[in-house]
Amino acid sequence: MCGIVGYIGHRDAYPIIIKGLERLEYRGYDSAGIVLFDGKDTNLAKTKGKVEDLKNKSNTTISIDGKLGLGHTRWATHGVPNDVNSHPHYSNSGDLVIIHNGIIENYESIKKALIKRGYVFHSDTDTEVLVNLIEEVKKQEGVKLGKAVQIALNQVVGAYAIAVFDKNKSDEIVVARLGSPLAIGIGENEYFIASDASPFIEFTNNAVYLEDEEMAIVRLGKEIKLRKIKDDAIAYPNILELQMNLEEIEKGGYDHFMLKEIYEQPRAILDTYRGRLLADQGLIKMAGIDQNLEKFLNANRIIIVACGTSWHAGLVAEYIFEDLARIPVEVEYASEFRYRNPVITENDVLIAISQSGETADTLAAIKMAKERGAFVFGVCNVVGSSIARETDAGAYTHAGPEIGVASTKAFTTQITVLTLIALKLAKEKGSISESKYHEFLVELEGIPAKVEKTLASNALLEDIAEVYKDSSNCLYLGRGYNFPVALEGALKLKEISYIHAEGYPAAEMKHGPIALIDEEMPVVVIATRRGHYEKVVSNIQEIKSRSGKIIAVVTEGDVQVTELADHVVEVPETSEPLTPLLTTIPLQLLSYHIALMRGCNVDQPRNLAKSVTVE
């Protein structure tokens, strides 16, 4: 997820774009860049780091006052964060300049074709390929920029919000979107372009939000011309008068980043499997696995190291890998693993899971495992992070920046990546049937829609939160694939509401925790239809007979648990290994609402940091 900003009008573009980038830094902050155009020359500055670094660099590299400009703050998906990979990008001729938020999945094949036609590339990005494709189309078809953009975008697969201009046409910027947001601010003889309205809300509250597969020619002194990318049909701009304030806009209209990120999960999961899960072809494409397949297939065992929520994702992976791929898995707290002198051999594969890619204990565990000969694979959310650079190979989650300290979309996208790996290995090993494999691919492809449906229980979770917001303790129970979800639900509650909560395997209750059960103790039980359901029903009856209050997460249409529980939240039916992607959603929402009702700082809970870069 990146931030894009553009301006064309009567003012100096530089201050508008720089301030706009500062407001969009929550969308991505590993590198930034700006280009100004004064009608004759362009000046471009870009750098790894934050917008502050860009300001320092551009003070010495930009010497023109352009009334047209583009700016970009990056969340890397292709190409590590560095100066060269930062946006904006020039086309080979230097006439076209582009900024892009999104992922072009088929950029490699396009790049190969352009190289054959003599194009040279300076960066590793998909964006530089796109701007040269537009240039090639413009040359070959002899068309203007707008038409060239339209033809080129019909050749790409992926997601994009782009702004591009041609130095030979100083009064227009062409924009287009598919899957990534793009807003056009409409001022008096000036236009603003941005990922959301925060960069221009102080200048105008009149805006047009492009719909998917729409593009626009933004020309000074003219009305915005909208058209459909696919069929050139004219679209009519729906000009909105925005009432939101700046802070609301940065949070996408949500009250907190955590809630925004909970609701981003359908898109985050989709972005994470985009280009990797090709269900109709029965394929899973993951370069990091494809290039190291033998290591995984011949591994004695897989050791998973992580901390916190990422450790819970590792536990889910243990169940999936062993159940489907029949590969022995051990899940270790990185902080324990690094100090207990573990037995590690070159026949071990270590998977390190980390949202930030900077967790000190996880990084140390990786280094130790490498020293002892293990092959190390990383699952990170930050491209170019320390862990991503330290591992031998890896697969990124494409969740976009996770700002809320409580990890939500990172958890579900980590599970998505790990599920893809497990399914790929299971297919290679023949440990699941072809039909089962295809069933899983189709089911995984449908998960974003089922997460969307689960999010509809938000109001119900708010009502339940009202009942239990003053509890002192809470127990979370789950079995099988949902035991790690019970742990995760408990962590969410305790870290943002400060209520003591514990997750347990449901069967463990009678080995101690049942002594805690009384009418003051809410017990969250995950009781999906396919997860040892009858056993969980017995556990619920044990709790009920001791006056415990039961909040049950069940499969939609459930009857038996619904009759027993005090509160029931339904999730759509899915295959058992994929249930954690759904059952975790109500638990995220429950903890969010309880914390809010207790007046806690949901996005920055006390004593916590987003990335634990110290021991």
Q: Is 370 in the active site?
A: no
Residue 176: closest CA among 243, 120, 250, 102: 102
The answer to whether residue 310 forms part of the interface with ligand AGP (CB under 6 A) is yes
* Residue of the chain from 58, 86, 272, 309 that contacts ligand AGP (CB under 6 A): 309
- Interacting span for ligand AGP (CB under 6 A) from 1-9, 304-312, 426-434, 531-539: 304-312
User: Quick check: helix, strand or coil at residue 220?
Assistant: coil
Q: Is 397 an interacting residue with respect to ligand AGP (CB under 6 A)?
A: no
405 binds ligand AGP, rule: CB under 6 A: yes
- Looking at beta carbons only, is 17 or 307 nearer to ligand AGP? 307
Contacts of 176 (CB under 8 A, 6+ apart): 149, 150, 153, 160, 161, 162, 182, 210, 214, 215, 216, 229
Residue 260: CB minimum distance to ligand AGP, A: 15
Tell me: does residue 85 bind ligand AGP (CB under 6 A). no
363 contacts ligand AGP (rule: CB under 6 A): no
From candidates 307, 317, 425, 486, binder to ligand AGP by CB under 6 A? 307
> At its nearest, how many Å lie between ligand AGP and the CB of residue 502?
15
Question: Footprint of ligand AGP on residues 553-612 (CB under 6 A)?
Answer: 611-612
Distance separating alpha carbons of residues 591 and 500, to the nearest angstrom: 12
Q: Does 265 bind ligand AGP (CB under 6 A)?
A: no
Run of H or E including 539: helix 533-544
Contact status, residue 482 vs residue 396, Cβ threshold 8 Å = no
Q: Does 356 bind ligand AGP (CB under 6 A)?
A: yes
| 8 Å CB contact between 488 and 518 | no
In the 8-state DSSP scheme, what is residue 205? -
Residue 610 falls in the annotated catalytic set: yes
Q: What is the largest CA-CA distance in the chain?
A: 81
Query: Which one from 50, 370, 535, 610 is the annotated catalytic residue?
Result: 610
Three-state DSSP class for residue 589 = helix
Closest distance between ligand AGP and the C-beta of residue 406, in Å? 4
Site for ligand AGP contains 355 (CB under 6 A): yes
Within 75-194, where are the H helices? 107-116, 126-141, 145-153
Segment near ligand AGP (CB under 6 A); pick from 236-244, 354-362, 535-543, 566-574? 354-362
What would the two tokens of residue 8 be?
A: 């064309």
In angstroms, the Cα distances linking 441 to 15, 419, 480 are: 48, 10, 21
Angle value at C-alpha 608, between 607 and 613, nearest 5 degrees = 120
Of 15-23, 148-156, 239-247, 303-311, which part binds ligand AGP (CB under 6 A)?
303-311
Kindly name the residue from 2, 307, 474, 600 that is annotated as catalytic.
Answer: 2
Residue closest to 42 by CA, chosen among 107, 85, 94, 87: 94
Min separation Cβ 504 and ligand AGP, Å: 18
Which of 354, 412, 454, 539 binds ligand AGP (CB under 6 A)? It is 354
Give the CA-trace dihedral at 396, 399, 401, 404, to 10 degrees: -120
User: Taking a C-beta distance cutoff of 8 angstroms, is the pair 220, 172 a contact?
Assistant: yes
The answer to whether 539 and 476 are in contact (CB under 8 A) is no
Of 48 and 409, CB closest to ligand AGP: 409
Site stretch for ligand AGP (CB under 6 A), options 238-246, 353-361, 388-396, 421-429: 353-361
Q: Which stretch binds ligand AGP (CB under 6 A): 106-114, 215-223, 352-360, 551-559?
A: 352-360
359 contacts ligand AGP (rule: CB under 6 A): yes
Terminal-to-terminal C-alpha distance of the chain: 29
The 486-525 contact track toward ligand AGP, x by CB under 6 A, reads ---------x------------------------------
- Considering CB under 6 A, how many residues would be counted as binding ligand AGP? 15
Among 3, 102, 308, 448, binds ligand AGP (CB under 6 A): 308
- Measured CA to CA, the distance from residue 560 to residue 538 in angstroms comes to 11
Binding flag, residue 30, ligand AGP (CB under 6 A)? no
> Which residues have C-beta within 8 Å of that of residue 598, sequence separation ≥ 6?
469, 470, 497, 498, 499
Binding mask 407-446 for ligand AGP (x = CB under 6 A): x---------------------------------------
Active site residues: 2, 610
By the criterion CB under 6 A, which residues form the site for ligand AGP? 307-310, 354-356, 359, 362, 405-407, 495, 611-612
